[in-house]
Amino acid sequence: MFLGNRVGTAVAESSPAEGLPMKRMIAASHKRYSSFLINTSCWLLTAALIAPTSSAWAWGTAEHIRLGQQIAKPFEPLLGVSTLPVIPAPKDDVTGLGPETFADYVAAPDFARGLTNLLAQQPANILHIGHCGRFWNREGVIDGVPIEDQADVGEDPDSIKAQARPGWLDCISGWTANNSHFGDFARNHYMYYHQLALHAAHLYRHNRQGVCRKAANTLEAWGQHYLTDSVASGHAWNPPGSYDIEWGYQTLTSIQVRMRIHDYLNEHGARMAGALYELGTFWGDHSEEHTIDGRSIPEQPTGNPQKALVLKLSRMGLGQVIAAAECGANPQPEDVLVTRDASTDVRRPYVSDETMCSAMYGWEISWKWWVPEGEWVPDSMEKLDVDLWGLDIPEVVTALQQCKWDEGRLSKGKNEAWLSRYYFNDKRPFIDDYSVSPTIDPHARLALHELGCEESLPVLPPQNQKDLCGNTLCEVPAKSSGQCPAGMVALTGCCLPEQAEVDTNEAALVSGWSSRRLPMVDLGSRGAAPGESSEFLWLKDAGQVDVEPAVDFAPLPRTTQLEGPEGAAVAGCGETGSASVYEARVKFPNHSDHQDKTVLLTIIDMDEGLQVQVNGHLVRYAKRADGVLQGTALFSPIKIPLMQSALQPAEDGVHVVRLIHLNSCGRERPLLVRLALAERVGKGDFVEISPQSGGCAVGHGDPTSALGFFWLWGVWVLIRRRRVLVK
């Protein structure tokens, strides 16, 4: 069963301290065994198709359903719906069912290689017989028997399973592609669908067509199957195989290796690598068979580390999609899985070397696996170490040899992840850095127009004046290219009437800032981690905060430290947050002298999040992480262009600038901002212009305050932080 994974000769001797022979030393052996592999390929394929199989689920169907329900739960009341709108799948003629909720679609990818395959009931197997999706139902059970995505459906001719029998070949064809549910393969597939979901969400924000909203939620739910899979014990590792080839050594080997290791991890559980190692054992499908209280991981109470990680990542992803669709946000999809602090904020769980050693010892990892116990071994054979054939990464070799010395019970490097992440990629790398191939299952690919969401759909009128986050909705949205009809100017995705040019050459002026503290904000139900853009998107002021900016005006630029009134302390990181609203008014006459200029907001320092509005329209969501220089604690100023002179003002020739500032964890940092006239230089940078008249104003409407004081204060803060880092 595992001959194909072990054949090879590493003729160069290698001591544990010296590492392993390099690939160039064993390249000659490939030709020797190529004929053997060819001869055994058909045997391996045949055995794979006829041998009894076990499930390769990360979670059972019912567990996926319960996870999906909990992922969507915080967002449904915000949208005022009982369930998130999705594309209903056609009802199957065997079960009479089809996915029709967000949670249903989180479970569905176990029964189809692609979303369009499922919606069209199109088999993925080469014989085009049946479709695995015919087995799908919310409990994953037919006639009282669990139907597994990679198992035969039985022999009883009178059962519903027998009626669906032609579809089992489609399930088994998933064997050659089921890597999509494991490790980095799963994350690649999630990101593919997540990016498509965000695209559909942006289209919905533009055209307000319900089909695009449904497509966004459906794509996200389908993708979240792979995201939730990657946190299950049996799936948090990278098996052999690649989507760069349809068949070959890796794919055939993957069938047996993947299933065997998956089943071991599923039965025994797994300690995860890194910061997750000390959190205890993680489980996979049918986890209720292993937990102390007999409840599956999705049913565990709040505080279970595995459940918390699954919900954190999944709600971050769904939060991005809904925020883009409902609030006009432009979140970065990578934020879901990329962390700036891998030691405490794990986003990519992998099975620890300790657990992988136990799972692989005696199979992929062993001494003299080819020798029956007690038989005599020639000295020359003892010097051969087939386990090291093809390995190049020193850390992988060290973990493998330590596992051998400890006879499967690893004593050193327990919380590392070299075996789970790199062992099989090191054996047969398809790309130079030994990472998983970024390609995805060809059957997984689709285009948005296949779901009915197209760029060419007409724009529907808004049903409300405000969006879910309190921003004024566009009467005329800008096209995705940013273009507007003649006589209109684009701002924050809206096409707004141009302002007629005035005769007088008036200076650009700004009023003082006024502020108001918002009530404490509950972040625990917002579906994201502290500091993430998708978290702050749910902070709403709904236009109901009454602020009265000072009436005095002074020439730009104006630098202001905004701390706001005293408020309640933050009760918990990622659970509650305090926020303040700041409002100022800008006079920006539409004169020819201003045509090539913009009003620029520069954020010199801030706390966790900031929402920027002009005349009620959303300009930007920013988070502190956007300005923090990588690997440091230094904050690099964020520049945001606010308006052009042709923009129609809100009232009396005045544009209203509103900032909503969030503090969600730890000490409050002041908001330090600067408004100034600027000219664009290059594609994305601006240069400030000196004010047209003398004087400057700082603070809350006090035109006599010294601008230099705040510049010195800002410089002092940056220098002080740098000194702390240097120490």
pLDDT digits (tens, 9 = 90+) for 427-451: 877 777 888 888 899 889 999 999 9
95 and 45 in a common domain = no
101 and 82 in a common domain = yes
Helix (H, G, I), strand (E, B) or coil at 499: coil
Instruction: Taking residues 548-564, report their average pLDDT.
Output: 73
Q: What band does 189 get if pLDDT is binned at 50, 70 and 90? A: very high
Whether the pLDDT of residue 527 is over 60: the answer is no
Q: List Cα–Cα distances, 173 to 45, 107, 169, in angstroms.
A: 11, 19, 6
The Cα diameter of the chain in Å comes to 103
From CA 234, how far away is CA 356, in angstroms rounded? Answer: 10
Whether the pLDDT of residue 19 is over 50: the answer is no
Instruction: Taking residues 720-725, report their average pLDDT.
Output: 41
102 and 43 in a common domain = no
Q: Are 624 and 663 in contact (CB under 8 A)?
A: no
Q: With respect to residue 268, please indicate whether it lies within any of the assigned structural domains.
A: no
Q: Minimal CA–CA distance to 54: which of 208, 256, 304? A: 256
- Location of structure tokens 């100017």: 489
Q: What band does 48 get if pLDDT is binned at 50, 70 and 90? A: very low
363 and 331 in a common domain = no
Q: Minimal CA–CA distance to 170: which of 186, 149, 194? A: 149
For residue 358, give every residue at least 6 positions away whose Cβ sits within 8 Å of its Cβ, in sequence order, or none.
264, 268, 408, 409, 410
Residue 113: both structure tokens together: 């290689």
720 and 605 in a common domain = yes
For 330, other C-beta atoms within 10 Å of its C-beta total: 15
- Location of structure tokens 């954020």: 603
Residues 584-605: pLDDT tens digits? Answer: 999 888 888 888 889 999 999 9
Q: With respect to residue 467, please indicate whether it lies within any of the assigned structural domains.
A: no
Beta-ladder partners of 278: none
pLDDT number for residue 88: 92
Phi-psi region of 553 (alpha: psi -120 to 50; beta: other; left: phi over 0): beta
Residues 349-375: pLDDT tens digits? Answer: 999 999 999 999 988 887 554 555 555
Q: For the whole model, what pTM was predicted?
A: 0.83
pLDDT number for residue 557: 73
Q: Minimal CA–CA distance to 585: which of 560, 552, 562? A: 552
From CA 669, how far away is CA 660, in angstroms rounded? Answer: 14
Helix (H, G, I), strand (E, B) or coil at 112: coil
Beta-ladder partners of 640: 601
Say if strands 638-644 and 558-562 run parallel, antiparallel, or are unpaired: unpaired
Tell me which of 700 and 525 has the higher pLDDT: 525
pLDDT number for residue 492: 76
Tell me which of 667 and 69 has the higher pLDDT: 69
Last residue of a domain, one of 427, 456, 472: 427
496 and 411 in a common domain = no
Q: Minimal CA–CA distance to 449: which of 705, 80, 200, 180? A: 200
Residue 692: both structure tokens together: 């047209």
From CA 56, how far away is CA 149, in angstroms rounded? Answer: 7
Helix (H, G, I), strand (E, B) or coil at 352: coil
pLDDT number for residue 684: 67
Q: What is the DSSP string of 653-707?
A: TEEEEEEEEEE-SSSPPPEEEEEEEEEEETTTEEEE---SSS---BTTTBTTS-H
From CA 512, how far away is CA 554, in angstroms rounded? Answer: 8
Q: With respect to residue 311, please indicate whether it lies within any of the assigned structural domains.
A: yes
Q: What one-character DSSP code corresponds to residue 51?
A: S
Domain that holds residue 69: 61-248+298-336
708 and 571 in a common domain = yes
Q: List Cα–Cα distances, 534 to 203, 285, 360, 469, in angstroms.
A: 18, 29, 40, 12
From CA 376, how far away is CA 384, in angstroms rounded? Answer: 15
Instruction: Taking residues 507-522, report their average pLDDT.
Output: 82
Q: What band does 175 get if pLDDT is binned at 50, 70 and 90? A: low
Q: Minimal CA–CA distance to 430: which of 240, 175, 185, 235? A: 240
Residue 489: both structure tokens together: 């100017």
69 and 45 in a common domain = no
Q: With respect to residue 480, please indicate whether it lies within any of the assigned structural domains.
A: no
Q: Are 490 and 477 in contact (CB under 8 A)?
A: no
Whether the pLDDT of residue 215 is over 50: the answer is yes
From CA 638, how far away is CA 532, in angstroms rounded? Answer: 16
Residue 611 backbone dihedrals phi, psi, to 5 degrees: -105, 130
Whether the pLDDT of residue 661 is over 80: the answer is yes
For residue 439, give every residue at least 6 positions away whose Cβ sits within 8 Å of its Cβ, in sequence order, or none.
188, 242, 243, 244
pLDDT number for residue 3: 26
Percent residues over pLDDT 90 in the chain:
33
95 and 191 in a common domain = yes
Instruction: Taking residues 270-297, report their average pLDDT.
Output: 94
Q: What is the 3-state secondary structure (H, E, C) of 199-214?
A: HHHHHHHHHCCHHHHH
Q: With respect to residue 35, please indicate whether it lies within any of the assigned structural domains.
A: yes
314 and 187 in a common domain = yes
Residue 551 burial by Cβ neighbours in a 10 Å radius (0-12, 13-18, 19+): exposed
For 303, other C-beta atoms within 10 Å of its C-beta total: 7
- Location of structure tokens 């769904």: 318
Last residue of a domain, one of 384, 403, 427: 427
- Comparing 34-43, 138-147, 547-556, 608-617, the range with the smallest average pLDDT is 34-43
Q: Of the ranges 12-26, 388-402, 425-439, 503-517, which is most confident?
A: 388-402
Residues 289-336: pLDDT tens digits? Answer: 999 999 999 999 988 999 999 998 999 899 999 999 998 888 889 989
pLDDT number for residue 434: 87
Q: What band does 666 get if pLDDT is binned at 50, 70 and 90? A: low
Task: Give the angle subtended at the CA of 290 by the CAs of 289 and 296, to the nearest 5°.
Answer: 70
Convert 307-321 to b/e letters by CB count within 10 Å (16 or more is b).
bebbbbbbbbbbbbb
Number of folded domains in the chain? 3
- Location of structure tokens 């609030």: 327
Q: Are 592 and 545 in contact (CB under 8 A)?
A: no
Q: Are 159 and 423 in contact (CB under 8 A)?
A: no
Residue 686: both structure tokens together: 């601006």
From CA 227, how far away is CA 315, in angstroms rounded? Answer: 11
Last residue of a domain, one of 411, 427, 443: 427
Whether the pLDDT of residue 406 is over 80: the answer is yes
Q: What is the DSSP string of 391-420?
A: ---HHHHHHHHHHHHTTTS--SSTT--HHH
Percent residues over pLDDT 70 in the chain:
72
Q: With respect to residue 88, please indicate whether it lies within any of the assigned structural domains.
A: yes
Q: Minimal CA–CA distance to 236: which of 184, 180, 291? A: 184
Q: Minimal CA–CA distance to 493: which of 596, 648, 619? A: 619
Say if strands 488-491 and 521-522 run parallel, antiparallel, or are unpaired: unpaired
Residue 139: both structure tokens together: 């409990």
Q: With respect to residue 454, please indicate whether it lies within any of the assigned structural domains.
A: no
- Look over the chain and give the mean of its residue pLDDT values, rounded to a whole number: 78
From CA 277, how far away is CA 270, in angstroms rounded? Answer: 9
664 and 531 in a common domain = yes
Q: List the helix and strand counts (H, then E) for the chain.
A: 19, 19
332 and 220 in a common domain = yes
Q: With respect to residue 452, please indicate whether it lies within any of the assigned structural domains.
A: no
Q: What one-character DSSP code corresponds to residue 628?
A: B
**Dihedral of alpha carbons 422, 428, 434, 436, sign:** negative
